[in-house]
Structure 1
Amino acid sequence: MPDILATSDGAVTTLTLNRPDRLNALTPAMLDELRAGLAAAVAGGARALVLTGEGRAFCSGADLAAAGGMPDDLGAILDAHYNPLARAIADLPVPLVTAVNGPAVGAGMGFALSGDIVLAARSAYFMLAFANIGLVPDAGASWVVARAVGRPRAMELALLGEQVMAEQALEMGLINRVVQDQDVLAEAQALAAKLAAGPTLALGLIRKQMAAALDTPFSEMLDVEHANQTLAGRTRDFREAVTAFAQKRPPQFEGR
């Protein structure tokens, strides 16, 4: 049984972490499989992606009981497996929606929050649990959490390693929406379908532009906007939008 399941519905591909007996705990092979799955989905024409977990958890973090045990140099595992996946997610040319169906712990929290839109089941919780086992946050969790909630909250989450229920995560600004448990995947897929029907080249530029805005000075950000607008203004989708406006009809975007 593969550790990552991929299913497609139209222009939306859903990737599912598939180790439910281990609460979808991450192994190096699983991380590589997910990275390959993302690339294959985009290469196959997906215009939006959904990431979720099988069973009662989204992801419980690294599998500390994996065969062979943990090596002395954990940084080497980050370099070889975790960081390439985090960078691949950041570099996606299409939007990613995460459907957090259950606990998202440690690196699982980092990957859950890597979605452009994050939906969580009402019973789900988030836990930056690294300090509880003598480690530091990874999988991009430091970056995304600090920027989402600010220094005081980020320090509290990272140093105490406590559970944050979905509703509290929403209040903090960690996630976008809380939905009923049974609806989280369907609602995430519906959002992804809406995004897939949009001008996906522009949406891909938007996701990277907004990420850049978190660290870029104002004058440099104007240059980024200029460069991206030049690209977007030359797309077929923009020309279609202008034509549709003149004809008083909804635009039919192609992602080109």
Structure 2
Amino acid sequence: MDERSLLCAVEDRVAVIRLNRPKTLNALTPDLLDGLRRAIEGYAADDAVGAILLTGEGRGFSSGADLIANAAQPPRDAEGRLDLGHALEACYNPLVLQMRTCPKPIIAAVNGMAAGAGASLALMADLTLAARSAYFLQAFVHIGLIPDAGATWILPRLVGAQRAMGLALLGERLSAQDAKDWGLIWDVVDDEQLLPTALALARRLASGPGLAIARIKRALQAALGNDLTVQLQLEAELQRECGRTQDFIEGAAAFVQKRPPRFRNR
């Protein structure tokens, strides 16, 4: 991978990953996607990191797949036929699964355009913030494709069947404010406050009880496919695990003593 297509840094237990192809509005290539997956995987295992912040350099978060690069080297199957499904299986799907299974919170800070698979990645974060000028676009229908990179899974779960269908079939821009009003994202902030707000949120999560946060993520994600009985049992199992941590002892003591807790992820 061209290392310059991603900029990564860790400060105050927050890993900041910047998509760094601003001339293409951070269009996604196989190398960039693989590098992003490996970066998240590495930070997930790094005890010095408590949260991950993903954003884009320049005027946009991501314009989606790099169609120009794909046209130059289109994915093909063993018989030489165009195979866009292979690109999903090899590049996009592993990244989406890595994001969803990461035990640490991932925050997306969306600046400008988040289109196609770029929108999918932004919405796969645990919390998504958007600049007031940002917008989301399911552009696939305009080129004869279906939403991918998990879009058909996440959209109806976030906004319901009708709105998800409208976004996919019409391919119209959704403003950041409408995205918040629909429940698609966590919050909208003024453009100049996007990164400061996202960093503050990431630092807050990074200083929290990491063991409990990982289990919160697991419980809420499992709830999408569980019935009530199964979910109640999962809650009991995860709560049992949390109750045996030093973080719970510290949190309870801090509550009684009316002081901020000092979590150690133990």
Quote how far apart the aligned CAs of 1:182 are. 1.3
TM superposition shift of 1:158: 0.4
Q: Which residue of 1 aligns with 2:73?
A: 69
**SS in structure 1 of the partner of residue 133 of structure 2:** coil
1:214 is displaced (CA, Å) by 1.7
SS in 2 for 1:93: coil
Q: Does the aligned pair in 2 maintain the 1:126–1:165 contact within 8 Å? A: yes
Do the aligned partners of 1:96 and 1:115 also contact (CA within 8 Å) in 2?
yes
Distance across 2 between alignment mates of 1:156 and 1:70 = 29
Instruction: Specify the alignment match of 1:43 in structure 2.
Output: 45
Post-superposition offset of 1:253: 0.7
- Which portions of structure 1, spanning 4 or more consecutive aligned residues, are displaced by more than 4 angstroms? none
Partner of 1:4: 6
Q: RMSD value over aligned CA atoms?
A: 1.2
Among all aligned residue pairs of Structure 1 and Structure 2, give the percentage whose two residues are the same amino acid.
Answer: 49
Offset at 1:41?
A: 2.0
Superimposed CA distance per residue, residues 135-163 of structure 1 (whole angstroms, 9 cap, x where no aligned partner): 11111111111101000000000001110
Match of 2:168 in 1: 158
SS at match of 1:8: strand
Work out which of the residue numbers 131, 135, 141 in structure 2 matches 1:131: 141
Equivalent residues, number: 256
Matched, 1:143 2:145: no
**Corresponding residue for residue 179 of structure 2:** 169
Does the 8 Å CA contact 1:90/1:208 hold for their aligned counterparts?
no
Pick one of 22, 27, 30 that aligns with 1:28.
Answer: 30
- Matched residues in 1 for 2:216 and 2:112: separation? 29
- Structure 1 unmatched ranges of 5 or more: none
Report the secondary structure of 2:68's partner residue: coil
Summarize the alignment of residues 172-251 of structure 1 with structure 2, pairs less than 5 Å apart: 172-251=182-261
Q: TM-score, normalised by structure 2?
A: 0.93
Task: Give, in whole Å, the separation in 2 of the partners of 1:12 and 1:159.
Answer: 37
- Is residue 4–residue 37 contact of structure 1 (8 Å, CA) maintained in 2? no
Distance between the aligned counterparts of 2:176 and 2:24, measured in 1? 22
**Partners of 2:198 and 2:114 in 1: CA distance:** 16
**SS of the residue 1:14 aligns to:** strand
Q: Distance in 1 between matches of 2:74 and 2:175?
A: 29
Matches of 2:229 and 2:43, distance apart in 1: 36
Cα distance in 1 between the residues matched to 2:74 and 2:143:
13
Counterpart of 1:58 in 2: which secondary structure? strand
> Does the alignment pair 1:60 with 2:63?
yes
Which shows bigger deviation, 41-50 or 114-123? Answer: 41-50
